[in-house]
Amino acid sequence: MNEGDGKWEIRGNEITAEKSTNVGISDFHNTTGHVEGPRGPERGHNVHGNNISADGSKSVGISNFGNHTGGYGSNSGYDPLNDVNWSSAGRGGQGKVPKGDGHDIRSNTIIGDGAEEGFHNFRNGTEVDGGSSNISDNEIRACNEASNVGMSNFHNQDAEGGGEPKSVVGHNICDNKISADTSTNVGLDDFGNIK
């Protein structure tokens, strides 16, 4: 899915929200801890061809990605006000892995109707050895005051740990459909980070 310039692709995603909060794709490819050695994924992002609409909603779209704070370089625009805290995520799909080969996450359908649903807390830490992932053709829908619907806290690496070089998975995020109706914390959140 990479274009010729080698940057990560974020394209063809459809995000819609009605009377909902924290909907979309957020908190990814960030470095917030002190890191020695390789830090990846530092390739930049092509963000284009995405359709985002909201009615009576807050914090909808694509936010907080590609930032570096905490131990090298300068602050490149990290805005803690854009953080989405899904700390209560973890029930139901905790540790389970969605469909897709290798690091890829493809063709999953997640529907939260009044309850949490999805995949949370998977493939973090020692399982994360760099490389790339295509997150594509997934459908995430939430309604009736559902919360924590989608995928959160995956492909992350802890910045601590004896100064070992850190390398995390980078992601092309394409052709996903995320929709929310009177729901909160819906979509893709907290992945591919070093923290």
- Worst-scoring range by mean pLDDT, 32-36, 57-61, 94-98? 32-36
**What are the pLDDT digits (tens) for 129-147?**
678 899 999 999 999 999 9
**pLDDT value at position 167?**
73
Q: Is 81 helix (H, G, I), strand (E, B) or coil?
A: helix
**What are the pLDDT digits (tens) for 145-189?**
999 999 999 998 887 655 565 678 899 999 999 999 999 999 999
Total-model pTM: 0.83
DSSP state of 7: P
Rounded to the nearest angstrom, the gap between the alpha carbon of residue 56 and the centroid of all alpha carbons in its chain is 23
Q: Is 99 helix (H, G, I), strand (E, B) or coil?
A: coil
Distance CA 20, CA 176 (A): 18
Q: Categorize the per-residue pLDDT at 21 as very low, low, confident or very high, splitting at 50, 70 and 90.
A: very high
Distance CA 17, CA 13 (A): 13
Distance CA 40, CA 166 (A): 8
Cβ 86 vs Cβ 189: under 8 Å: yes
